[in-house]
Amino acid sequence: MYVLLILSSILILCANGGLIVKCPETPSKWCETKEIAQACNVIEQCQLYVWKVQDKNDKVNLTLYYETLCPDCRKFMTTELWKAYQTIFDIVNITLVPYGNAHETYQPVTQLYQYVCQHGAQECLGNLIHTCVLNYYPTIQQHMPFVYCTESSSGDVTTIASQCAEKSKMDFNKIFNCTQSKLGNQLQHIYAVQTENLQPPHKYVPWITINGQHTEEMEHEAERNLIKLICKSYKGSNPPSSCKK
């Protein structure tokens, strides 16, 4: 006995308990499920143009607030953050905010902001260098290798940054000129405002938010196993294999 059912304009033929999914006439329905896509012979197209886009919108948004010479920041960035970037990059948007526990004062005469940093003038320069790198090389693929290089190296900030810029194929002259300019000063101010407006207010660095949220439990988990935290926060339909371990 055969029963013909119509579900969402998709014909499904039931025969002896089996189901045969027929391709609907309306193209907008072809990617509703993998079974339908297979029936329509468009699995690859759905994966590339529909499901991958949906997964992209489900990415976890991780923001890291840090300062360049903070020992705990350097440890976190060269271990947990670097591993997450290398392993589960497809499911996370990483945003870096180099300011941390610095303080700014506006100088009316120069119309510039003056910065005082927790680890001294060299850290202020390091923060500015990172700020300018993020401006000129805005994608995570461009700036993350540079950030990892500087945070995993010790020595004179300018020398290290120059060496890391060369390794990362960046124009260090442009970056350094930015640190001495009004542009760099204003870009650093933007990060200052972003940091000072955190809710709840940040108490230390590194300080992370997941999808704009921060809790002490989340912070501790990030420092222990950032990959696990991101995987747990990911709501997409196709988690990477690293999330299944």
User: Do 202 and 99 belong to one domain?
Assistant: yes
In a domain, 242, yes or no: no
Cis-peptide into 200, omega within 30 deg: yes
User: Do 154 and 170 belong to one domain?
Assistant: yes
Strand 92-98 and strand 60-66: pairing?
Answer: parallel
pLDDT for 43: 76
Of 207, 244, 240, whose CA–CA distance to 222 is shortest? Answer: 207
Element (H, E) at 44: helix 43-46
pLDDT greater than 80 at residue 132: yes
Beta-ladder partners of 112: 107
Of 130, 139, 212, whose CA–CA distance to 172 is shortest? Answer: 130
Number of domains in the chain: 2
User: Do 220 and 106 belong to one domain?
Assistant: yes
pLDDT for 84: 98
Side chain identity at residue 59, one-letter code: K
pLDDT digit string, tens, across residues 62-90: 999 999 999 999 999 999 999 999 999 99
In a domain, 15, yes or no: no
- CATH number, domain at 95? 3.40.30.10
In a domain, 13, yes or no: no
pLDDT for 173: 98
In a domain, 110, yes or no: yes
User: Do 198 and 209 belong to one domain?
Assistant: yes
In a domain, 5, yes or no: no
In angstroms, rounded to a whole number, what is the distance separating the alpha carbons of residues 245 and 232? 12
Element (H, E) at 93: strand 92-98
pLDDT for 12: 45
User: Do 189 and 228 belong to one domain?
Assistant: yes
In a domain, 240, yes or no: no
pLDDT for 152: 98
Token pair recorded at residue 94: 């990483």
Contacts of 3 (CB under 8 A, 6+ apart): 14
How confident is residue 5, by pLDDT bands cut at 50, 70 and 90? very low
Of 92, 93, 96, 94, whose CA–CA distance to 65 is shortest? Answer: 96
How confident is residue 191, by pLDDT bands cut at 50, 70 and 90? very high
Token pair recorded at residue 219: 């912070």
User: Do 171 and 130 belong to one domain?
Assistant: yes
In angstroms, rounded to a whole number, what is the distance separating the alpha carbons of residues 58 and 118? 36
How confident is residue 46, by pLDDT bands cut at 50, 70 and 90? confident
Full residue range of the structural domain in which residue 46 is found:
29-58
pLDDT digit string, tens, across residues 110-121: 999 999 999 999
Average pLDDT over residues 155-167: 98
